[in-house]
Chain A
Amino acid sequence: MKILVTVKEVATVEDEFEIEGTEIADQYLGADLNEWDDYAVEEAVQLQEAGIADEVVTVTIGPEDCEQTIRQALAKGADRAIRVWDDALEGVDLLDVEAKTEILRGVVEEEDPDLVLSGVQSGDDSWGATGVSLAEDLGFEWAAVVNHLEHDLEDGIASVRRELEGGVEELTDVELPAVLTIQTGINEPRYASLRGIRQAQRKELDVQSLADVGVDEGVVDSDLELTDMYEPESESDVTVWEGSAEETAGELGDLLRDKGVAP
């Protein structure tokens, strides 16, 4: 079985920052592997260590700068990496979900994986849509916000537990090939070992252009435009009940139900 994991280098922001136009000023930005992707990579590597997967391949859309971040996944055990980049993507402000879907579909068609794992969302753009959109486009089955995956995958079925809103979880089966979007907490991602880092330098990191993955340059045209960037006003609200647990627990329960936190 082959697993394809979509990974992304995301922008990280310091606690205090300034906004310039529609961007956060450069000096407040760092870069890291998307947190959710770290869990997706770990899940794939564990499946490989359990002898269920034969090959784990990562794919990213990003410039050369992000290779160091992408190698993190190789150091943790992925076998090889694909990086899609193109002059046409240079300087594009907003690569929307539609464009990512099309590019990733090109890679999936080429690689023909049995299972695609993506993060639920990326820590910077937070669309939370790429994995599911990709599945729809491919006609694959999918499960979103997966926080447990049975490590047998027998008879081409993935048994998953997914997180719904309001603290509710769903157990469901999806038929392979499938896309699962992975939630944080599904496992405990490892640190890259020193041996792993060393070996990762020699693993294949294949760079492909849009043409290589069979996608037209027009893919970058978007109906979406980023018009503004601002910090939302944050509101906080506190309710304090006086009294013993017996007296107040019910009131807390009502409030949580009221706010939609509990069913």
Chain B
Amino acid sequence: MEFGLTEEQQQIREEVRRFAENEIVPVAGEYDEEEKYPHDVVDKAAEMGLTGPYIPMEYGGAGYSILDTSIITEELFSYDPGIALSIVSTSFGCEAIMNFGTEDQKERYLEPIAKGEKISGAAISEPDTGSDVSSVSTRAEKDGDEWVINGNKMWITNGTVGDFFVVLCETNPDAEGRYNGFSQIVVESDRDGFSAEKITGKLGIRASDTAELVFDNVRVPEENLIGTRDAAFMQQMQFFDETRTAVAAQGVGIAKGATRAALEYAQDREQFGQSISEFQAIQHKLAEMATDTEAARNLTYKSAWKVDQGEDITKLASMAKEYASRVAVDVADEAVQIHGGAGYVDDFPVERFYRDAKITQIYEGTSEIQKNVIAREMLGKGF
């Protein structure tokens, strides 16, 4: 058993820290307040290769493992979750192309993502389809050698800034079984009939772009289908291990950043003639925050490591996602408490962490859904 990071992994973490401190921290408040997508920061991150680090070297990426990618995600989120999500989400949906795409699709879609020339998105949720993914109703019909797509997608990260989306569509409504008859189809945002409307007023991760997508008789060539027709659900399920581990890493990062900020504030702030970090009540909070974060990190790294070993880890990935997101919310809460009134305004980053943390319990499967998955696996029931 090996718990240490390699020298290379430490080096990645250091360089990402340098990038975040110089390029993200000074502008984080502004992008949050204005609810504005951080194009400039994303461009700089792309130069460094932070967009699609797991994309293989031959397609312009760095070929990093899920564990390496988790380390990058954790570090970025510990400085600002909104901008961090904008950076790590530039390749959303690409895991499907990487695993099931043809050589031509990989070249066409992965390379520009790795180089930072394009942004992608994954479009699954709909106005009436959230936790119950099998109720997807966006329809793709074959017409000659084209797919014709109609429907709405909701809450789509990168919706108004993305260049293409991997869209989960119903392709065979007559298929037997609730999980059959869906396909993943790439839709480029410059196709006729495609439109996106930005969703504003988010509680947190406000730098990240979220939108509703409308497909009105959008036509794409048949070669935009990823993998096997009607089998998207089975394809999609395979990435849950990866994507849930990634959200767990986001949670660990948020907890780490909130703890860092609280530790610093506790040492600076004086009351009753001493630093508040001298009070045992504050010390215990800090100790619990650090311990919970470390526990979440270990669960997350184990989950990432197992994915890299090629193991199927449905239960573990859900555990990591559920636990790390809960720790993120709890730790951010305590960090605000340690700041007192100063934590309730935007002078300090903890106010933002507090708002940002919540999303990790919602997207990529809510906490309730994660617990359903864990229990189902324990009880030996299928999905």
A residues in contact (CB < 8 Å) with B: 67-68, 71-72, 75, 190-198, 200-201
CB-defined contacts of A197 to chain B, threshold 8 Å: 8, 11-12, 15, 62
Say which residue of A191, A193, A196, A201 sits within 8 Å of B18 (CB atoms).
A191
CB pair A194–B48 under 8 Å, yes or no, is yes
CB-defined contacts of A201 to chain B, threshold 8 Å: 7-8
Assess whether B29 is interfacial by the CB under 8 Å rule.
no
Residue of A nearest to B49 (CB): A194
Min Cβ gap B276→A in Å is 17
**Could you tell me the distance between the alpha carbons of A134 and B252 in the complex, rounded to whole angstroms?**
48
**Could you tell me the distance between the alpha carbons of A67 and B6 in the complex, rounded to whole angstroms?**
13
CB-defined contacts of A200 to chain B, threshold 8 Å: 11
**Could you tell me the distance between the alpha carbons of A254 and B220 in the complex, rounded to whole angstroms?**
72
Say which residue of A67, A75, A194 sits within 8 Å of B64 (CB atoms).
A194
CB pair B62–A195 under 8 Å, yes or no, is yes
Chain B 40-51 interface mask (CB, 8 Å, partner A; 1/0) = 000000011110
If the complex has contacts A198-B62, A198-B63, are A191 and B47 also in contact, measured as CB distance less than 8 A?
Answer: yes
- Among A194, A196, A201, find the residue whose CB has the most chain B CB atoms closer than 10 A: A194
B residues in contact (CB < 8 Å) with A: 7-8, 10-12, 15, 18-19, 47-50, 53, 57, 61-64, 72
**Could you tell me the distance between the alpha carbons of A200 and B11 in the complex, rounded to whole angstroms?**
10
Residue of A nearest to B69 (CB): A194
CB pair A68–B15 under 8 Å, yes or no, is no
CB pair B47–A193 under 8 Å, yes or no, is yes
Say which residue of B7, B8, B49, B63 sits within 8 Å of A193 (CB atoms).
B49
Supply 10 further A-B pairs (C-beta < 8 A) apart from A197-B8, A201-B7. Answer: A71-B11, A72-B15, A191-B15, A191-B18, A192-B11, A192-B15, A193-B48, A194-B50, A194-B64, A198-B63
Min Cβ gap B244→A in Å is 23
Residue of A nearest to B11 (CB): A197
**Could you tell me the distance between the alpha carbons of A75 and B15 in the complex, rounded to whole angstroms?**
10
Min Cβ gap A42→B in Å is 14
Say which residue of B7, B10, B12, B18 sits within 8 Å of A194 (CB atoms).
B12
**Could you tell me the distance between the alpha carbons of A174 and B15 in the complex, rounded to whole angstroms?**
35
Min Cβ gap A155→B in Å is 34
**Could you tell me the distance between the alpha carbons of A191 and B63 in the complex, rounded to whole angstroms?**
18
CB-defined contacts of B48 to chain A, threshold 8 Å: 190-194
**Could you tell me the distance between the alpha carbons of A193 and B52 in the complex, rounded to whole angstroms?**
12
- Among B11, B12, B48, find the residue whose CB has the most chain A CB atoms closer than 10 A: B11
CB-defined contacts of A195 to chain B, threshold 8 Å: 49, 57, 61-62
CB-defined contacts of B61 to chain A, threshold 8 Å: 195
**Could you tell me the distance between the alpha carbons of A200 and B50 in the complex, rounded to whole angstroms?**
17
**Could you tell me the distance between the alpha carbons of A260 and B61 in the complex, rounded to whole angstroms?**
52
CB-defined contacts of B11 to chain A, threshold 8 Å: 68, 71-72, 75, 192, 197, 200
CB pair A194–B62 under 8 Å, yes or no, is yes
Residue of B nearest to A71 (CB): B11
CB-defined contacts of A193 to chain B, threshold 8 Å: 47-49, 62
Min Cβ gap B91→A in Å is 13
CB pair A191–B8 under 8 Å, yes or no, is no
Residue of A nearest to B68 (CB): A194
- Among A67, A72, A75, A195, find the residue whose CB has the most chain B CB atoms closer than 10 A: A195
**Could you tell me the distance between the alpha carbons of A75 and B53 in the complex, rounded to whole angstroms?**
15
Residue of A nearest to B53 (CB): A194
CB-defined contacts of A68 to chain B, threshold 8 Å: 7, 10-11
Say which residue of B8, B47, B50, B72 sits within 8 Å of A198 (CB atoms).
B8
13 pairs from A and B in contact (CB 8 Å cutoff): A191-B15, A191-B18, A193-B47, A193-B48, A194-B48, A194-B50, A194-B62, A194-B64, A195-B61, A197-B11, A197-B12, A197-B62, A198-B62
**Could you tell me the distance between the alpha carbons of A198 and B55 in the complex, rounded to whole angstroms?**
13
Residue of A nearest to B44 (CB): A191
**Could you tell me the distance between the alpha carbons of A190 and B48 in the complex, rounded to whole angstroms?**
8
**Could you tell me the distance between the alpha carbons of A193 and B63 in the complex, rounded to whole angstroms?**
12
CB-defined contacts of B47 to chain A, threshold 8 Å: 190-191, 193
CB-defined contacts of B53 to chain A, threshold 8 Å: 194
CB-defined contacts of B49 to chain A, threshold 8 Å: 193-196
CB-defined contacts of B62 to chain A, threshold 8 Å: 193-195, 197-198
CB-defined contacts of B10 to chain A, threshold 8 Å: 68
**Could you tell me the distance between the alpha carbons of A192 and B7 in the complex, rounded to whole angstroms?**
15
**Could you tell me the distance between the alpha carbons of A198 and B12 in the complex, rounded to whole angstroms?**
9
CB-defined contacts of B8 to chain A, threshold 8 Å: 197-198, 201
Min Cβ gap B153→A in Å is 31
CB-defined contacts of A198 to chain B, threshold 8 Å: 8, 57, 62-64
**Could you tell me the distance between the alpha carbons of A197 and B10 in the complex, rounded to whole angstroms?**
10
CB-defined contacts of A72 to chain B, threshold 8 Å: 11, 15
CB-defined contacts of B12 to chain A, threshold 8 Å: 194, 197
CB-defined contacts of A67 to chain B, threshold 8 Å: 7
**Could you tell me the distance between the alpha carbons of A191 and B10 in the complex, rounded to whole angstroms?**
15
**Could you tell me the distance between the alpha carbons of A30 and B61 in the complex, rounded to whole angstroms?**
31
**Could you tell me the distance between the alpha carbons of A68 and B18 in the complex, rounded to whole angstroms?**
15
Residue of A nearest to B50 (CB): A194
Min Cβ gap B76→A in Å is 12
**Could you tell me the distance between the alpha carbons of A200 and B7 in the complex, rounded to whole angstroms?**
11
CB-defined contacts of A194 to chain B, threshold 8 Å: 12, 48-50, 53, 62, 64, 72
Min Cβ gap B5→A in Å is 11
Min Cβ gap B135→A in Å is 39
**Could you tell me the distance between the alpha carbons of A12 and B50 in the complex, rounded to whole angstroms?**
27
**Could you tell me the distance between the alpha carbons of A72 and B12 in the complex, rounded to whole angstroms?**
10
CB-defined contacts of A192 to chain B, threshold 8 Å: 11, 15, 48
**Could you tell me the distance between the alpha carbons of A197 and B61 in the complex, rounded to whole angstroms?**
12
